[in-house]
Amino acid sequence: SCSWCLRFGATVSLMSRLHKNSYTLQSDTAQLQRDNDYLRDSKADLEREVAELRPERDELRRELSSKRVASTELEAVAREKRVLEQHKNTLAVHIDDLESRIEQLTSAQKTQTPFPAMSLMDSERDYRARMDLDEVPDLETFASQLQHRIAKAEKYVELFYPIEDIRVLLGGLAMSQLHVFQGISGTGKTSLAKAFAKAMGGFCTDIAVQAGWRDRDDLLGHYNAFERRFYEKDCLQALYKAQTPRWEDTCNIILLDEMNLSRPEQYFAEFLSALEKNNPDERLISLSETLLSNAPAMLGEGRKIRVPANVWFIGTANHDETTNELADKTYDRAHVMTLPKQDKRFTIKPFEPANYSYRSLRKAFGKARAEHKEEVIKLLKDLTGDAFTEQLGSQFELGWGNRFEKQALDFIPVMLACGASSGEALDHLLATRIMRPGKVTGRYNVSAETLRNLKGALEEFWISADLAGDPRKSMELLEADIRRLDGRS
């Protein structure tokens, strides 16, 4: 009974709990039902919102896609911009470099000289340094020494010129700055000019004359206005070189090799005019019509080259079918030497190399002129009043002009000082200035008898003037022309 009571109590208690739990479950179920209804309503609301947002989402997707494309394009543009900026920077560097180079070239052009070779001589040490020069001894001793110095001037060949030719050469140097060495090929015309310059310690500029030369530009060069540059030929450079401190007191030669391949009266005309001026400072040749900026220091007025007194022009002349005869204008202003084939050898005396002063040589010439001036004046006076001169005037229409008298006063005294006789000196002048072809000889309007009469008058003058020896050179020319007119070879 007690156990039943316990089981009954437990059953009642269990049923009570079940009833309570059932109530609770019902209450929870109702709550869950309400929650479920709420969620359904929320789901319906959300579905409506999703339906409403879906078009907006699609629009945003389309917009995003468009913006992605735009972003890609922007990135490409940005990359292109970076590349262009790099190119710009590179171009900027090149532009700066070009501007710098242009500025340098412009500055260089402003300071650039139109005469590069001559301007270099203004600053080059070899041209600016002076050197000690030797004094010329008395002319007779000097002529003898010069003969032997010329003989050994060239390295690989010995040159034998008779003392008579050396004396004539020195007399010619005193007489004129223009010389013509003529004779058959192989007689040593070119060699004498070069050897003389070496023996004197000066320079020799060798210029090969061309058959097509027509004016001074062929000899000096020309100015190119576009390039603002003067193309300086060797002759022009030599004229300037002779005025530099290194060479201004040396004896220098400009050699016109085969000068009569063209006509000196054309390409050398301005030189012929310049050399006629008594004042050496006025012997100027214009290189340009106007002043050239940054011209070399020693150009007169920035455009004129001076023909310095310490330069002699020596032209060699062959006479054949390829050459031109020199005009009287050239012959009258030049000292002419006819060189025969050299076959007289002598024992060469050794001398130490020397560098002779031009001023010293000119001083020796002046001394000789002062010492022998009266003697030469008397000789010319006797010649002027002689029957020989009368025949020259009446039969050949020739006379003694001022140029001949001046040349004789320069030439004959130096010949005498060198050891020659007055007859030898006068004979050379007569042969080269009066008896040469075109003057007395080589004419067709005079007879052989007229030439014989002139020859006799010359011989009589030689006796009356008490001149040593015979006028050999003049006589040879007269006798050869008499044979021509007589029809004899």
Structure confidence by residue, pLDDT tens digits, 295-313 = 999 999 989 999 999 999 9
pLDDT for the residue 284: 95
Residues 273 and 304 in one domain: yes
* Same domain? 371 vs 423: yes
Whether 255 maps to a domain, the answer reads yes
What is this structure's pTM? 0.77
The whole-angstrom separation of Cα 481 and Cα 187 is: 23
User: Is 313 in the same domain as 347?
Assistant: yes
| Residue 26, in any domain of the structure | no
Residue 225 counted as domain residue: yes
- C-beta separation of 424 from 415 below 8 A: yes
In a domain, 404, yes or no: yes
- Please check whether residue 133 lies inside any domain of the structure: yes
Biggest CA–CA distance in the chain, Å, is 213
Domain endpoint, select from 356, 382, 400: 356
Q: What is the CATH number of the domain that holds 352?
A: 3.40.50.300
Q: Please indicate, yes or no, whether residues 199 and 338 belong to a single structural domain of this protein.
A: yes
Amino acid 74: pLDDT = 80
> Edge-to-edge strand order for the sheet containing 178-182?
204-208, 252-257, 311-317, 178-182, 335-338
> What is the predicted pLDDT for the residue at 34?
83
pLDDT given for residue 213 in this prediction = 94
- All residue ranges of the chain with pLDDT < 70 are 1-2, 103-111, 321-322, 488-489
143 neighbors 419 (Cβ within 8 angstroms): yes
Residue 31, domain member (yes or no): no
Same domain, 344 and 368: no
User: What is the number of domains present in the chain?
Assistant: 3
* 334 and 367 belong to one structural domain: no
Decide which of 299, 324, 356 is a domain's last residue: 356
Q: What is the pLDDT of residue 254?
A: 98
14 located within any domain: no
Same domain as 329, residue 368:
no
Q: Are residues 310 and 245 in the same domain?
A: yes
pLDDT at 388: 95
- Domain residues for the domain of 418 are 357-488
Looking at 334, 356, 378, the residue that finishes a domain is 356
Residue 366 shares a structural domain with residue 472: yes
Query: What pLDDT was estimated at residue 360?
Result: 97
| 424 within a domain of the structure (yes/no) | yes
Q: Is 442 within 8 Å of 434 (Cβ atoms)? A: no
Q: Are residues 349 and 254 in the same domain?
A: yes
Say yes or no: 139 and 179 in one domain: yes
129 and 81 belong to one structural domain? no
